[in-house]
Structure 1
Amino acid sequence: MDASLNIAIAAEFELCERIVEALEESELNIAKVTVVEIYPFEEEQGIRFKNKSVTQCSSKEMDWGELDYLFFAGNIEQVSHIVEAAEQGCVVIDMKGICSTLSDVPVVVPSINEENLIELRQRNIVSLPDPQVSQLALAIHPVLQTSHLTKIFTTSLLPASYQNIETVTKLAGQTARLLNGIPLEEGETRLAFDVYPQSTLSLSQQFQKIFPQLEAVVFHAVQAPVFYGMAQKVSVLSDYEIDFQPQENEFVQYHEHFITPVMTAEIESEISHVKLHISRLSAVENGIEFWTVADEQRFNLAHLSVKLLEAIYHQGY
């Protein structure tokens, strides 16, 4: 490959760092990486790629037409940047699925439905689904190879980092205050030592764009007082008994013992790669259930996005 790829990243500082780490581990030869500060960085926050400082600029300074690819992890209010970049010929990886409901934007999870990248020709935009969707998709994909599933239920326990880094900071601050007997401000949403439901709007629609044959999928989501690492309890049912023999692949690792978000962080601090960790796999009547955990920042967003970029590049887009 020629070292000619010009890549930009538009995300929060912490996610930018994780994307750059994943890019350094990829086989792509990259000429230039630029950070687009759609979320302002602190003065001391700088990104380095292969030991060199990365140029940081605002969206107003960007010439989107000079880019080959853009990793975009903004919100719906910033979607105009995606449209502008795509119209100028840049292929946009919509990392959080904000364009996923558009009929002419493919929703793709690496290793599952990469053939749908052919639809990139329509708008130069591809959506990686919400981390809740990609985590479930990777977990059930091996089951679908041998079984016909009729119902899928999943409950996601969302960490503070699933929202943004401000939520992580808020959870840390609230935890410290409450442990020291300092009450929260009146009307302040309580994150520490509490849970509450979150919306799952559009998740089923994203999932069905990946697996059109599956209609009976139910998502539940609960905000949990955890800093990093998303966990899911999954139950899948069939009309018949499921005989599933788990086999690990480049994305998934199975464990005989119970794995939690904290344990996942400890495991991955000692190895050079990240994975989706599955444990507590057991049979139920005409089905199976299991527990999955992944670092939604490093794995579901950064790692999967870079793997998606590799697939896009190798298919010639």
Structure 2
Amino acid sequence: MDASLNIAIAAEFELCEKIAETLEKSELAIEKLLIVEIYPFEEEQGIRFKNKAVAQCSPTEMDWREVDYLFFAGTVEQVAHIADAAEQGCIVIDMKGVCSTLSDIPVVVPSINETDLVELRQRNIVSLPDPQVSQLALAAYPLLKTAHLKQIFTTSLLPASYHQAETVTKLAGQTARLLNGIPLNEEETRLAFDVYPQHTSLLSQQFRKIFPQIDSVVFHSVQVPVFYGMAQKVTALSDYEIDFQPQESEFVQYHEKLITPVMSGEIESEISQVKLHISQVNGVENGIEFWTVGDDQRFHLACLSVKLLEAIYHQGY
């Protein structure tokens, strides 16, 4: 494979690091990696790729005609950068699904619906869904190949890292202050030692773009005082009894014992491989329930985005 690819990353510093690390392990031969600072880095922050410092520039300085692919992990308010890049011929991987509601933007999870990449020809943009959706899609996919599921109910326990690096820092700071008897300011959102619900308006729509045959999928999301690692409790129901035999894949690993976010992090630090971990698989009346854990940063955003880019490249886009 010729080393001729020019790739840009537009994300927070911590996520840029994880994407660069994952790209180094990929099959892609990359000539140039570039950081687009949609979130300005601190002075001491810098990305290295193949033992070399990576150049950083602002979005206004970009000539997108010089970039083949862009990893974009910004907000809806920053979506104009996606449009600029795509209009100039750069293929954009929308890592957080901010464009996923548009009818002509495919929503793709690697290993599940890569054939939908043919729609890339329309806008040069593909959305990876929200990590909550990716996690459920990968876990439910083996079931959907053998059973007709009528309803899926999912409760997502969201870590601080699900939002941004600043939230992780806030959780750490609040935890330390409260343990030392220092009260929080009244206007602060309390992250430490507390939970609260999160709004999930677009998740079901994203899921049904991947699996249009599903009649009903319900997401409940709860913010929890965990630093890294998203957990989901899933119940899938059918009109008939489900006979499910777990089958591991490139992205999914089953466990007989319960796996928690902390345990999954410990496992992956030892083997240097991120996966979706599934445990507590049990039958219910005309259905099945299980517990899943995945690193929302390293697995859902970095790993799946790079795998999606590999699929895009190999399909000739």
TM-score of the superposed pair, with normalisation by structure 2: 0.99
Cα distance in structure 1, aligned partners of 2:53 and 2:297:
22
Give the corresponding residue for 2:83. Answer: 83
SS of equivalent to 2:138: helix
After superposition, what is the alpha-carbon deviation per residue over 1:32-64, rounded to whole angstroms, capped at 9, x for unaligned?
000001101111111011111111111111111
SS where residue 79 of structure 2 aligns?
helix
- Supply the distance in 1 between the matched residues of 2:224 and 2:188 (Cα, whole angstroms): 16
Point out where structure 1 has 5 or more consecutive residues left out of the alignment: none
* 1: CA distance, partners of 2:274 / 2:166: 24
Partner-residue secondary structure (3-state), 2:35: strand
| Cα drift, residue 272 of structure 1 | 2.3
Match of 1:119 in 2: 119
In structure 2, distance between residues paired with 1:84 and 1:139: 35
Give the SS at the match of 1:212: coil
Identity of aligned residues (%): 80
The Cα shift of 1:215 comes to 2.5
1:123-157, CA deviations, whole angstroms, 9 ceiling, x for partnerless residues? 00000000000000000000111111001000000
Residues 61-107 of structure 1: CA deviation (Å, up to 9, x unaligned): 11111100000000011000000000000000000000000000000
Paired AA for residue 249 in structure 1: S
Pairing of 1:62-81 with structure 2 (within 5 A): 62-81=62-81
Q: Does residue 1:201 correspond to 2:191, yes or no?
A: no
How much has 1:2 moved relative to structure 2?
A: 1.1
2:11 is the counterpart of 1:17: no
SS of match in other structure, 1:269: helix
**Per the alignment, in what secondary structure is the counterpart of residue 9 of structure 1?**
strand
Could you say which residue in structure 1 is the equivalent of 2:243?
Answer: 243
Letter in 2 for 1:222: V
Residue aligned with 2:18, SS: helix
Range with bigger deviation, 104-113 or 51-60: 51-60
| Secondary structure in structure 1 of the residue aligned to 2:271 | coil
Q: Distance in 2 between matches of 1:227 and 1:19?
A: 19
Question: What's 2:34 paired with?
Answer: 34
Task: Please list, as runs of the form range in 1=range in 2, the aligned pairs for 1:106-255 lying within 5 A after superposition.
Answer: 106-255=106-255
Partner SS, residue 218 of structure 1 = strand
Pairs aligned (count): 317
Pair 1:306 & 2:312 matched: no
CA distance in 2 between partners of 1:168 and 1:133 (Å): 22
Q: Distance in 2 between matches of 1:226 and 1:307?
A: 27
Whether 1:280 and 2:280 are equivalent positions in the alignment is: yes
Please give the root-mean-square deviation of Cα atoms over the aligned residues, in Å.
0.5
Q: Partner of 1:105 in structure 2? A: 105
Partners of 1:157 and 1:304 in 2: CA distance:
20
User: Which residue does the alignment assign to 1:260?
Assistant: 260
Name the SS for the 2:270 alignment partner.
Answer: coil
Whole-angstrom distance in 1 between the partners of 2:52 and 2:280:
43
Residue 132 of structure 1 aligns to a residue whose secondary structure is helix
Tell me the alpha carbon deviations over residues 149-187 of structure 1, each in whole angstroms, 9 at most, x when there is no partner.
Answer: 001000000000001011111111110110011110012
Q: How big is each residue's C-alpha offset from its partner over 1:172-229, in whole Å with a ceiling of 9 and x where there is no partner?
A: 1110110011110012110000000001011000000000111310000000000000
Separation in 1 of the partners of 2:179 and 2:144? Answer: 46
Counterpart CA distance in 1 for 2:172 and 2:307 is 32
- Whichever residue aligns with residue 238 of structure 1, its letter is S
- Unaligned runs of 5+ residues in structure 2 are none
Aligned to 2:6: 6
C-alpha separation between the residues in 1 aligned to 2:269 and 2:23? 18
CA shift at 1:8, angstroms?
Answer: 0.1
Q: For residue 293 of structure 2, what is the amino acid of its counterpart?
A: V
Tell me what 1:269 maps to.
Answer: 269
Give the Cα separation in 2 of the matches to 1:44 and 1:264.
30
**Which amino acid counterpart does residue 223 of structure 1 have in structure 2?**
Q
For the residues of structure 2 that align with 1:153 and 1:47, how far apart are their CA atoms?
39
Distance in 2 separating the partners of 1:272 and 1:222: 29
The letter of the residue matching 2:96 is K
Structure 1: 4+ residue segments shifted above 2 A: none
Separation of aligned partners in 1, 2:60 and 2:294: 35
Name the CA distance, whole Å, in 1 between partners of 2:315 and 2:195.
43
